[in-house]
Amino acid sequence: MDKKFSIVIAGGGSTFTPGIVLMLLENLDKFPIRQIKFYDNLASRQKVIADACEIILKEKAPEIKFVATTDPETAFSDVDFVMAHIRVGLYAMREKDEKIPLKYGVIGQETCGPGGIAYGMRSIGGVLELIDYMEKYSPDAWMLNYSNPAAIVAEATRKLRPQAKIINICDMPVGIEERMAHAIGLKSRKEMEVRYYGLNHFGWWTGIYDHAGNDLMPQIKEHVAQYGYSLKEELEDKSSQHTDPSWMHTFAKAREVYAVDPTTLPNTYLKYYLYSQDEVEHADPNYTRANEVMDGREKHVFGECEKIVAKQTAAETSLEVDEHASYIVDLARAIAYNTHERMLLIVENNGALSNFEPTAMVEVPCIVGKNGPEPLVQGPIPRFQKGLMEQQVAVEKLVVEAWEEHSYQKLWQALTLSKIIPNARVAKQILDDLIEANKEFWPELS
């Protein structure tokens, strides 16, 4: 453990950046760092976060060199890891992704259905650009990407940058597993080993064991059948974003998602596909999750950063370590130290799901080491999940093809195929509105 690492956080101005920096500082004994750089394409937004983080670093780990920049060469030179969480179009565009479909009675969501497709069309170019910078300035580095919509981004990088050293990861299974562990009286999800398969934000647990190999599924199912992923006592990690009322609704709704297939345990995001209409009825078309986040997390994080700068100390800040983001350190460590940790990652199927499209980007447990992830075979998947996944993976592939070929037709097909959209006419109306709203960000379609 002699080597100290240099990392760049791409999307330095993200609301998650301070929590992740605090988390990295808390884990320096496990993952030593010599340099942290921030990179963003919006200097003014990044500056607020960077000025505060510079003070945090000075107080907690003055030996770590800190750089915040909008210059790709400065950002991407001399780094071992790129931790990427960009949001192309910011919350202003997320708000449109959520509100435009609702005008047509269709749920709008950050990563699912038409909202996710619109966001995907913006993200692909942004993430490819980060890969190109990394390959140019630090060709040996790895990118740990959690920029959304991860499913579409992962398919785009598989297809358009097949050699890239990028690993796509999502924190939702981590968050749900934390809740499962808590529900049955374990201290942490690390006491569990899981079998899981699906696409990103579209998957199921098929087995959960303790380290002695005992089956924990029956106990967890008993809880989920009654409460979904709601807990009698909420988790203490208030720094996690999964604490707002809309998330509490999502965790409770998992009970109904579970009922559709009680042989597995579902990812929370399946509610958008299996209960789309309920979500529309529950939504306020004038105040969506983007509004909740702008009024909540964004105000809080930026407000706290401004206070740190004004006081020139972080001694009294209410910014907290994002403990649940420590999965990012686990992943970086797995690569850096060849730990062979078992983690859920988004990787090319290639036989892991034996009866499913080999080129699909699937979310499955992998053993992670120095040379990247090795997926673990999860066997053939049952007809219900296979049917849903075939449809959804086709949507994701069509979006990437539409982006690459600038094809209106393929994007219309993608929207029409999405389980969330009722028919081709509504798909076209939503598409035409999304094109208008995304002029600045999407390739011109014809």
CB of 380 to ligand NAD, least distance (A): 27
241 forms part of the interface with ligand G6P (CB under 6 A): yes
User: Number of helices and strands (H, E) in the chain?
Assistant: 17, 12
Among 171, 304, 323, 330, interactor with ligand NAD by CB under 6 A: 171
Q: Which is nearer to Mn ion, 52 or 143 (CB)?
A: 143
CB of 169 to ligand NAD, least distance (A): 6
Q: Which does 324 bind (CB under 5 to 8 A by kind): Mn ion, ligand G6P, ligand NAD, none?
A: none
CB of 175 to ligand NAD, least distance (A): 8
- Give all strands (DSSP E) within 287-389, no chain letters: 341-348, 361-369, 372-375
Q: Looking at the chain, how many residues does it have?
A: 446
121 forms part of the interface with ligand NAD (CB under 6 A): no
Per the CB < 8 A criterion, the answer to whether 362 and 199 are in contact is: yes
Supply the Cα-derived Rg of the chain in whole angstroms: 21
Strands 202-210 and 142-145: unpaired
Distances (CA, A) of 79 to 30, 46, 82, 141: 18, 19, 7, 6
148 forms part of the interface with ligand NAD (CB under 6 A): yes
172 forms part of the interface with Mn ion (CB under 5 A): yes
178 forms part of the interface with ligand G6P (CB under 6 A): no
Write the CB contacts of 265 (distance below 8 Å, at least 6 apart in sequence).
180, 204, 205, 208, 217, 220, 221, 224, 258
16 forms part of the interface with ligand NAD (CB under 6 A): yes
CB of 70 to ligand G6P, least distance (A): 23
Q: How many CB atoms are closer than 10 A to CB 286? A: 8
Q: How far apart are the first and last CA of the chain?
A: 54
138 forms part of the interface with ligand NAD (CB under 6 A): no
From 144-152, 254-262, 275-283, 337-345, give the range in contact with ligand NAD by CB under 6 A. 144-152
Per the CB < 8 A criterion, the answer to whether 9 and 80 are in contact is: no
Catalytic annotation, pick one of 40, 80, 97, 171:
171
CB of 241 to ligand G6P, least distance (A): 4
By CB under 6 A, the residues from 154 to 173 that bind ligand G6P are 170-172
Write the CB contacts of 240 (distance below 8 Å, at least 6 apart in sequence).
175, 322, 323, 324
Per the CB < 8 A criterion, the answer to whether 148 and 16 are in contact is: no
- What is the contact mask toward ligand NAD in residues 44 to 63, using x (rule: CB under 6 A)? -xx-----------------
CB of 336 to ligand NAD, least distance (A): 21
Catalytic annotation, pick one of 146, 196, 197, 269:
269
Q: Which is nearer to Mn ion, 170 or 265 (CB)?
A: 170
15 forms part of the interface with ligand NAD (CB under 6 A): yes
269 is catalytic: yes
How would you label 136-175 residue by residue, b for 16+ Cβ within 10 Å and e otherwise?
ebbeebbbbbbbbbbbbbbbbbbbebeebbbbbbbbbbbb
Angle, alpha carbons 294-81-30 (nearest 5°)? 95
148 forms part of the interface with ligand G6P (CB under 6 A): yes
From 92-100, 168-176, 272-280, 310-318, give the range in contact with Mn ion by CB under 5 A. 168-176
Distance CA 374, CA 328 (A): 17
Interface contacts to ligand G6P, rule CB under 6 A: 110-111, 148, 170-172, 175, 241, 289, 293
Active site residues: 171, 269
Binding site for Mn ion (CB under 5 A): 170, 172
